[in-house]
């Protein structure tokens, strides 16, 4: 048992191997999908016939093991619910000894449940969605690889091992965004995602360097123990570096530009990686690093500000896009902005951030799968101006999508209502200007969310049929998707409706998380809670109404109107790519070109010129170059003999 | 009954390939089966190494073991002395591991020969040179006498010279010539240093032994000048900015197998020399020069990465990534911090594997496509999926993705460096971003996008090529997930080379505006408890 202050280790860590049961086999959660990926990649075409089912099985196996561990944790006393499982010593480097170890606690296991449950559903959905793709087996290999890396990320008991998962999910994301990389723009999107994530990863690397230099450790226990006695300046720097990492992975401002392009990946990928799980890893990192942020109010404020900016950024972009997946991507950014904002509030909001993360995982995955179902029915069309009136042709998709839509806009009683409302209330907690600014942003964004999601819903499922002919020039014949696709959608829809209430009523979830993220401190918002709730509902209703008037009840033009300055800017993602290009890419290209030129003209030229200019060597070299190659051996021999003679002479 | 460690293993590992090379070169009957003989001999050497390693006491990896010593030119103090510590063992292991792989990779390289040449003769020449190179590589990593080291250091250039100049691309003679100028010039400079050491050293019948010279009392400037003469030779070989420009040409023109050995193993002689000779022989001068060397190393890290980005030839690109990686290795050595030093040594092994893989697999591609120009390819993933996949694995190891060989060493170098030199680490870490670009950009251009129809009928990796790639991929994964055994061998050496230094956070934050130095010190105290 650790003698560290309460701040660093809220609960004593228990050895999972000693605890026995499922926890001592927790490594299977990572090993199963990893094995699945390895088999699928190595077996090659031979496994084409059954490979996808192996993938499903591996993911489902992880879920079963995870569920057993969760049941085991529930069976323990709350303050014994942090187990650690030592696997082997990864880096035996003296001062820097890093163990490959897992931490099984309510926080990590909540993620495990989300990742494996939603992940398995999406695996099943993909069996049908990718049926006609010749590379379906490879797709499942990558999906399995992703699940393994994501579980390693959340289960790691040190920043170093977390980083392995962190970059592992980046790799899986890269492979899956570029799954159809015969299209150059898709391949570019994949690379863009990886490189922008690497910018964030530099933050995490630097944070670990700081931790090692300051605390002599990179494992959670060691770092949090060190953080307890560290200066605020130090913790602020570490916190800001962690925030940089989180911005990359979670597509938060200013590293948000990759997420929209990442929609190049097959839709199940967007659902799993770029909506429900991987992109929320940044929120996980911030919440997991609670003991660091608690000692660094400046870094906390930065997290809140980043969250608030992205919250609005995503919502604004989402209102203008016509590509159904890009609207959902912008919405994801925006919703993660909510989570970030909450995570930055500290103990007041951390648990709510995770709560929203879980509910969002369900309804956003459901929405993406619904979008995939629509695309499946409409010959891969993504332009919502070319949809319309689809509700009556695909009832299940319409109904499940409606559940997700109502959940995300915070319709009273549904999942999103519970989790989002708590965040808005928490944003109104505090002193001075902050609650007013952040609270207002959070409240306003609820209205914007209602608008853009309703716009999407009405443009897709209601109004006139504005369908374009298929790529083969035939008439569109939308149809409901097969059961392998609709059943996962139905299950996610059930979660979208009921999960929020199930987790919030009776504070089930926050008290479950308590051993890992601390108790939720109760504070009163600067405005009474009923007023906040009322305002949220009014804004939501307003958003839905405006969207209905413009996109449900009126004719939606097939060609996008020119739009206002703001609309045009939002369609261009507020010029994020232009800024990145002008500030980083162009100067970088010029620098690289200048260096390449300089390397041959200046550096090489100087060295070679020096060699040629040495008068005594000139003749020798010319002879060497013209073929007296063996002279080299002679020179060497002469040199060695000369050396011997000189030494002999000097020594006498 | 002798025990294993009583046999002169290192000499055996030197002599066997050398004799085999001579036989292949001289006996016509062997030339027709030169490739098979070469492969068998190199596998026997590998097996010999494994047996030898069982006689190595891993608990005392800092000590030089398996030592042999015989007087050679006693009048001058020159001995034949060999022996390896953990670092030498690891590098000898890397050499004997990569030689059979490279031979197998080059199996069909010499089937088309210039007019007038005989296929069997060409192949025999190639195999003989590679085996001769293997002998010198084992010798140079185990030499315990400075003079012996110098002789081997120079002698190993001869097989390399012929490998580049005779078995390379269209401009191979220029590349070989450039390689020679660099080697010759730096070798002569080092020779001056060797002579000076002989004169100024303690002398005696074993006066050139590293152990004898390590305790030698030299004048301050004597030591510094000799250090400089050695360091220049090692910096050229490593290669460091600004004396790196021979490498891209050599790698571009040499055959992939040669490049793999040249960059994967031979260049390590530079950083090996810094560790095995510079630090023990010139301790004061090494400290004195460290600030400058660290700056040069950081420049190499960033410069190599950025210039790699602008390359159009895939082999040149890989060569420049190596300039960047050698920057990391030199940085890790000269910050003299234990974790960073461990990382630098592990980096030498890991980089050998991943760069060899990248050269060889790129070679498989360029042999199929007939050009090294990146732009000539496109969409190859759909044509040669296994080749593309393994190239990506090697590339990901090169960009230091965790789980593959490149990550752990780079991580250790960065963490160790930061502890004593924040600025160097903060600049070097930027290469992490550039690395993602210099691997994924050529991957995108060669393997993704629309298929280049003229290349659409190319075959994927064959069985032999898969046998080349499999051990390399296995090694990359092993070094990524279970680097422990290798680290255990290297860390004692790192401990010896490290020096006590104040933590950078104390000095940096002491001057910083937040005044957190007290806290940092308090933390340091706390962690000691």
Give the tens place of pLDDT for each residue, B464-499: 999 999 999 999 999 999 999 999 999 999 998 888
Judged against a pLDDT cut of 60, whether residue B371 lies above it is answered with: yes
- In whole angstroms, give the CA distance from residue B339 to residue B316: 31
Overall average pLDDT of the B501-517 stretch? 55
Overall average pLDDT of the A48-55 stretch? 92
Judged against a pLDDT cut of 80, whether residue A631 lies above it is answered with: no
A-B C-beta contacts closer than 8 Å: 248
Q: Which of A103-117, A577-591, A614-628 shows the lowest mean pLDDT across its residues?
A: A614-628
Asked if B495 lies within 8 A of A94 by C-beta distance, the reply is yes
Judged against a pLDDT cut of 80, whether residue B516 lies above it is answered with: no
Distance, first Cα to last Cα, chain B: 51
B508 CB near a chain A CB, below 8 Å?
no
Beta-strand relationship, A14-15 and A83-93: parallel
Overall average pLDDT of the A486-515 stretch? 90
A5 CB near a chain B CB, below 8 Å?
no
Which of A126, A120, A145, A118 minimizes the C-alpha distance to A60?
Answer: A120
Overall average pLDDT of the A36-42 stretch? 93
- In whole angstroms, give the CA distance from residue B245 to residue A240: 39
pLDDT at A623 (0 to 100): 55
* Percentage, residues of chain A above pLDDT 70: 93
Asked if B429 lies within 8 A of A593 by C-beta distance, the reply is no
Distance, first Cα to last Cα, chain A: 71
pLDDT at A89 (0 to 100): 92
Q: What is the pTM of this model?
A: 0.92
Judged against a pLDDT cut of 80, whether residue B30 lies above it is answered with: yes
pLDDT at B409 (0 to 100): 96
Q: Tell me: the pLDDT tens digits for B130-168?
A: 999 999 999 999 999 999 999 999 888 889 988 988 887
pLDDT at B515 (0 to 100): 39
Asked if B444 lies within 8 A of A191 by C-beta distance, the reply is yes
Judged against a pLDDT cut of 60, whether residue B523 lies above it is answered with: no
Band the pLDDT of B519: cuts 50, 70, 90.
very low
Which of B43, B42, B39, B51 minimizes the C-alpha distance to B8?
Answer: B51
- Residue A103 bridge partners (DSSP): A84
Band the pLDDT of B186: cuts 50, 70, 90.
confident
Top pLDDT among A599 and B279 is at B279
Q: Which of chain B's residues have a Cβ under 8 Å away from the Cβ of A188?
A: 444
The phi, psi pair for A393, rounded to 5°, reads -90, -25
pLDDT at A198 (0 to 100): 93
A1 CB near a chain B CB, below 8 Å?
no
Residue position matching structure tokens 């040199």: A639
- In whole angstroms, give the CA distance from residue A645 to residue B30: 40
- In whole angstroms, give the CA distance from residue A359 to residue A357: 6
Overall average pLDDT of the A462-472 stretch? 86
Overall average pLDDT of the B260-288 stretch? 93
Q: Tell me: the pLDDT tens digits for A530-574?
A: 999 999 999 999 999 999 998 888 888 888 888 888 888 888 888
If you average pLDDT over each of A385-399, A558-572, B422-436, which comes out highest? B422-436
A230 CB near a chain B CB, below 8 Å?
yes
> How near does any CA of chain B get to the CA of A372, in Å?
24
Inter-CA distances, A557 with A328, A467, A547, B315, Å: 21, 12, 14, 53
Q: Tell me: the pLDDT tens digits for B332-359?
A: 999 999 999 999 999 999 999 999 999 9
Q: Tell me: the pLDDT tens digits for A130-167?
A: 998 889 999 999 999 999 999 999 999 999 999 999 99
B194 CB near a chain A CB, below 8 Å?
yes
Overall average pLDDT of the B443-457 stretch? 89
pLDDT at B512 (0 to 100): 38
The overall average pLDDT reported for chain A is 88
- In whole angstroms, give the CA distance from residue B100 to residue B39: 6
Overall average pLDDT of the B202-226 stretch? 86
Cβ–Cβ < 8 Å for A54, A40: yes
Nearest to A214 among B165, B407, B505 (CB): B505
pLDDT at B507 (0 to 100): 53
pLDDT at B513 (0 to 100): 39
The overall average pLDDT reported for chain B is 88
- In whole angstroms, give the CA distance from residue B444 to residue B374: 10
Q: Which of chain A's residues have a Cβ under 8 Å away from the Cβ of B515?
A: 231, 233
pLDDT at A143 (0 to 100): 95
The phi, psi pair for B145, rounded to 5°, reads -125, 130
- In whole angstroms, give the CA distance from residue A459 to residue A382: 12
Overall average pLDDT of the B35-62 stretch? 92
Query: Which residues 8-67 of chain B have a CB within 8 Å of chain A?
Result: none
Judged against a pLDDT cut of 70, whether residue A453 lies above it is answered with: yes
Judged against a pLDDT cut of 90, whether residue B425 lies above it is answered with: yes
* Percentage, residues of chain A above pLDDT 90: 60
Task: Please give the residue of chain B at the shortest CA–CA distance from A194.
Answer: B436
Q: Tell me: the pLDDT tens digits for A318-349?
A: 999 999 999 999 999 999 999 999 999 988 78
pLDDT at A648 (0 to 100): 67
Cβ–Cβ < 8 Å for A394, A480: yes
Overall average pLDDT of the B235-248 stretch? 89
Band the pLDDT of B514: cuts 50, 70, 90.
very low
The tokens for B224 are 């510094």
> How near does any CA of chain B get to the CA of A554, in Å?
41
pLDDT at B2 (0 to 100): 55
Band the pLDDT of B528: cuts 50, 70, 90.
very low
- In whole angstroms, give the CA distance from residue B109 to residue B119: 10
pLDDT at B174 (0 to 100): 83
Judged against a pLDDT cut of 70, whether residue B64 lies above it is answered with: yes
Asked if A234 lies within 8 A of B516 by C-beta distance, the reply is yes
Inter-CA distances, B152 with B82, B144, B185, B226, B269, Å: 12, 12, 16, 19, 11
Asked if B415 lies within 8 A of A171 by C-beta distance, the reply is no
In whole angstroms, how large is the CA radius of gyration of chain A? 28
Band the pLDDT of A8: cuts 50, 70, 90.
very low
pLDDT at B527 (0 to 100): 40
Query: Which residues 297-316 of chain B have a CB within 8 Å of chain A?
Result: 303, 306-307, 309-311
Band the pLDDT of A404: cuts 50, 70, 90.
very high
Q: What is the DSSP string of A165-219?
A: HHHHHHHHHHHHHTTTTTSHHHHHHHHHHHHHHHHHHHHHHHHHHHHHHHHS--B
pLDDT at A617 (0 to 100): 54
The tokens for B56 are 């190595």
Band the pLDDT of B522: cuts 50, 70, 90.
very low
- In whole angstroms, give the CA distance from residue A206 to residue A241: 7
pLDDT at A22 (0 to 100): 84
Q: Which of chain A's residues have a Cβ under 8 Å away from the Cβ of B198?
A: 643, 646-647, 650-651
Q: Which of B523, B524, B529 to mutate to test the interface with A (most CBs of A within 10 A)?
A: B523
The 8-class DSSP code of residue B291 comes to H
């Amino acid at each position: 048992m650790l003698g560290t202050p309460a701040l660093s280790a809220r609960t004593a860590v228990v050895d999972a191997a000693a605890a026995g049961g499922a926890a001592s086999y927790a490594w299977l959660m990572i090993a199963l999908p990893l094995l699945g990926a390895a088999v699928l990649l190595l077996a090659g075409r031979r496994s084409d016939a059954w490979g996808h089912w192996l993938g499903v099985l591996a993911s489902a196996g992880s879920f079963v093991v995870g569920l057993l561990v969760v049941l085991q944790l529930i069976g323990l006393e709350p303050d014994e619910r942090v187990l650690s499982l030592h696997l082997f010593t990864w880096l035996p480097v003296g001062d820097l000894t890093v163990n490959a170890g897992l931490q099984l606690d309510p926080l990590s296991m909540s993620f495990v449940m989300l990742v494996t449950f939603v992940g398995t559903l999406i695996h099943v959905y993909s069996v049908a969605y990718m049926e006609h793709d010749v590379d379906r087996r490879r797709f499942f290999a990558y999906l399995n690889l992703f699940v393994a890396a994501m579980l390693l990320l959340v289960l790691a008991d040190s920043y170093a091992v977390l980083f392995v998962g962190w970059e592992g999910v980046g790799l899986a994301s890269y492979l899956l965004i570029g799954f159809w990389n015969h299209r150059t723009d898709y391949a570019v999107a994949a690379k863009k995602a990886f490189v922008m994530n690497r910018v964030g990863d530099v933050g995490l690397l630097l944070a670990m360097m700081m931790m090692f230099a300051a605390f002599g450790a990179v494992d959670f226990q060691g770092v949090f123990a060190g953080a307890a006695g560290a200066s605020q300046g130090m913790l602020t720097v570490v916190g800001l570096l962690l925030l940089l990492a989180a911005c990359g992975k979670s597509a938060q401002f200013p590293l948000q530009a990759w997420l929209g392009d990442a929609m190049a990946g097959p839709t199940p990928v967007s659902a799993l990686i770029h909506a429900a799980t991987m992109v929320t890893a940044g929120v996980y990192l911030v919440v997991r690093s609670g003991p660091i942020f608690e000692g660094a109010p400046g870094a906390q404020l930065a997290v809140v500000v980043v969250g608030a900016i992205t919250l609005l950024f995503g919502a604004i972009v989402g209102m203008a896009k016509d590509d159904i997946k890009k609207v959902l991507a912008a919405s994801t950014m925006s919703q993660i902005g909510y989570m970030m904002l909450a995570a930055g509030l500290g103990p007041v909001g951390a648990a709510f951030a995770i709560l929203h993360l879980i509910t969002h995982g369900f309804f956003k995955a459901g929405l993406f799968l619904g979008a995939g179902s629509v695309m499946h029915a409409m010959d891969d069309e993504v332009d919502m101006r070319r949809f319309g009136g689809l509700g009556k042709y695909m009832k299940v998709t319409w109904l499940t999508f409606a559940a997700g839509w109502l959940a995300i806009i915070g319709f009273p009683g549904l999942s999103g209502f519970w989790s989002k409302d708590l965040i808005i209330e928490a944003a109104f907690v505090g002193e001075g200007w902050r609650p007013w600014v952040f609270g207002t942003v959070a409240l306003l964004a609820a209205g914007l969310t209602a608008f853009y999601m309703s716009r999407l819903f009405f443009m897709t499922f209601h109004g006139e049929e504005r369908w374009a002919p298929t790529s083969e020039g035939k008439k569109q014949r939308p149809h409901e998707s097969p059961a392998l696709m609709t059943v996962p959608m139905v299950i996610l829809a059930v979660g979208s409706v009921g999960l929020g209430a199930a987790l919030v009523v009776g504070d089930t979830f926050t008290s479950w998380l308590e051993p890992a993220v601390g108790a939720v401190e109760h504070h009163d918002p600067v405005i009474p809670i009923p007023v906040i709730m009322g305002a949220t509902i009014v804004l939501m209703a307003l958003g839905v109404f405006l969207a209905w008037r413009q996109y449900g009840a009126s004719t939606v033009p097939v060609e996008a109107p020119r739009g206002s300055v703001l609309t045009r800017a939002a369609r261009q993602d507020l010029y994020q790519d232009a800024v990145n290009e002008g500030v980083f890419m162009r100067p970088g290209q010029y620098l690289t070109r200048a260096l390449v030129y300089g390397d041959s003209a200046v550096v090489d030229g100087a060295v070679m010129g020096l060699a040629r200019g040495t008068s005594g060597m000139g003749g020798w070299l010319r002879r060497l170059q013209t073929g007296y190659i063996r002279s080299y051996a002679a020179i060497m021999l002469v040199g060695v003999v000369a050396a011997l003679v000189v030494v002999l002479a000097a020594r006498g | 009954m002798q025990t294993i460690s009583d046999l002169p293993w290192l000499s055996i590992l030197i002599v066997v390939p050398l004799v085999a090379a001579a036989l292949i070169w001289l006996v016509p009957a062997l030339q027709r089966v030169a490739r098979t003989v070469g492969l068998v001999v190199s596998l026997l050497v590998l097996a010999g190494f494994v047996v030898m390693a069982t006689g190595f006491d891993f608990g005392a990896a800092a000590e030089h073991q398996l030592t042999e010593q015989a007087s050679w030119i006693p009048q001058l103090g020159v001995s034949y002395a060999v022996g390896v510590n953990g670092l030498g063992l690891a590098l000898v292991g890397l050499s004997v591991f990569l030689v059979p792989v490279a031979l197998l990779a080059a199996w069909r390289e010499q089937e088309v020969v210039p007019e007038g040449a005989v296929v069997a003769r060409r192949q025999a020449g190639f195999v003989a040179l590679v085996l001769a190179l293997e002998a010198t590589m084992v010798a140079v990593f185990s030499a315990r006498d400075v003079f012996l080291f110098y002789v081997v250091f120079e002698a190993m250039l001869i097989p390399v010279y012929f490998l580049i100049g005779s078995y390379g691309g269209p401009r191979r003679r220029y590349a070989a010539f450039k390689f020679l100028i660099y080697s010759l010039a730096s070798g002569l400079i080092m020779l001056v240093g060797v002579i000076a050491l002989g004169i100024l050293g303690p002398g005696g019948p074993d006066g050139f032994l590293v152990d004898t010279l390590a305790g030698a009392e030299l004048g301050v400037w004597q030591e510094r000048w000799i250090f400089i003469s050695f360091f220049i030779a090692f910096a050229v070989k490593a290669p460091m900015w600004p004396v790196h420009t021979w490498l891209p040409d050599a790698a571009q023109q040499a055959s992939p197998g040669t490049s793999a050995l040249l960059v994967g193993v031979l260049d390590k002689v530079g950083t090996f020399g810094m560790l095995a000779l510079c630090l023990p022989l010139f301790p004061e001068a090494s400290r004195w020069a460290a600030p400058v060397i660290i700056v040069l190393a950081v420049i190499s890290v960033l410069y190599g990465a950025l210039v790699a980005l602008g390359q159009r030839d895939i082999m040149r690109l890989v060569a420049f990534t190596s300039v960047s990686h050698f920057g990391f290795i030199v940085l890790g050595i000269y910050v003299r911090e234990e974790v960073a030093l461990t990382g630098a040594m592990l980096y030498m092994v890991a980089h050998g594997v991943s760069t060899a893989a990248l050269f060889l697999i790129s070679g498989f591609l360029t042999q199929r496509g007939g050009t090294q120009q990146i732009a000539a390819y496109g969409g190859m993933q759909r044509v040669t999926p296994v080749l593309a996949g393994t190239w990506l694995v090697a590339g990901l190891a090169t960009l230091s993705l965790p789980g593959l060989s490149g990550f752990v060493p780079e991580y250790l170098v960065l963490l160790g460096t930061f502890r004593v030199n924040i600025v160097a680490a903060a600049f070097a870490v930027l290469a992490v971003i550039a690395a993602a670009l210099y691997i994924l950009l050529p991957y995108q251009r060669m393997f993704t996008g629309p298929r280049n129809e003229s290349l659409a009928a190319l075959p994927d990796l064959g069985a032999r090529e898969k046998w080349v790639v499999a051990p390399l991929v296995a090694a990359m994964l092993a070094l990524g997930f279970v680097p422990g055994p290798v680290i255990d061998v290297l860390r004692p050496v790192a401990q010896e080379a490290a020096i006590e230094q104040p933590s950078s956070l104390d000095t940096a934050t002491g001057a910083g505006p937040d005044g957190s130095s007290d806290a940092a010190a308090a933390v340091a105290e706390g962690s000691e408890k």
